Chains A and B, each alone.
Chain A
């Protein structure tokens, strides 16, 4: 029987690369693809894949919240999280969300097949660089990444986190309402609660919070080239 894998990443080019890598293995099949977290949850419930591979940084619903929702629906789902970020906070959150695998995108060509095999054999997998970082964290800070530790988003509900991400991505309350099948009034109420809980006064505070807490990911472009020649007055 084939091992069925669902891929969730907002970049089709990345999904193509992952599919090409995974389908080289005899007996493995990519049974579906999703371009955001919400679609990933729908397709996973419909297709019941053996393994779900999710990018952390997806729009509408990020990979960590996708993982949480999948496991709320069915704790048997096996999820590998793919990420460009290797901070110990992200590792901690991925573990707390219930991911059984954690692979850096830069290492995916080397590690993803091994990760899927591990999950197929009911084991967990962390990319070697992540293991080094986790160990370094233990030695430096003297604390453990215990699953009993409180996540860093202590005061927001799952729904509030979803709404925070969508607002930080630039959606208006009306657009958020449309995406989540809620009334605008309900979204506005959630928005007020979020701002009050986090003591924020502007959407900018919300965006900074979303970035710091990995609800959205950003890539830093290279610094612009300094102008040469005579400088303007």
Chain B
């Protein structure tokens, strides 16, 4: 299955790590990258990804704000947060902003592929440390 992915994180090294992991899957393609929320919104408009992998804490526009804008601008786009914040409250806020998934960066290597697959099929995927609750419709 082809999935076109836009990566958004203010650290190029993190984006490189995510890209290495994602492009190991046949048919998955990282079509672009952005380093802040504002750039993410612009690139989503131009590139029409299927899934956006989005950090929370970024300069110019944080991930939550970008998610809210994108929910209005691109309702077909599925958003997966990959973030340092291992917090049920932050996760709730991310889901309220319109995200379909939320995983913690410290477990990204374990959870990212399953999360991208789930959200690309419009299924929710959330996984905090020690509190997995993946793959809910």
A residues apposed to B, CB below 8 Å: 10-18, 20-21, 105-106, 108-110, 112, 219-222, 224-225
Contact = CB atoms under 8 A, between A and B. Distances in A.
A8 to B, nearest CB: 14
B93 A16 contact: no
B21 A109 contact: no
Q: What DSSP secondary structure best describes chain A's contact surface?
A: helix
Contacts of A13: 14, 17-18, 21, 82, 105, 108-109, 112
Interface stretch (B56-64, B69-77, B120-128): B56-64
Interface of B: 10-21, 56-57, 62, 64-65, 82, 84-85, 87, 89-90, 93, 97, 105-106, 108-110, 112
A104 to B, nearest CB: 10
**Lowest 5 A-B CB distances belong to which pairs?**
A17-B17, A109-B12, A17-B16, A16-B17, A12-B109
29 contacts: A11-B108, A12-B17, A12-B106, A12-B109, A13-B14, A13-B17, A13-B108, A13-B112, A14-B17, A16-B17, A16-B20, A17-B12, A17-B14, A17-B16, A17-B17, A17-B20, A18-B13, A20-B16, A20-B17, A20-B19, A105-B11, A109-B13, A109-B16, A110-B12, A219-B84, A221-B85, A221-B90, A222-B62, A224-B89
Contacts of B14: 11, 13-14, 17
Given A219-B57, A221-B57, A221-B90, A14 B13 contact: yes
A49 B12 CA distance: 25
Given A220-B57, A222-B57, A17 B64 contact: no
B80 to A, nearest CB: 13
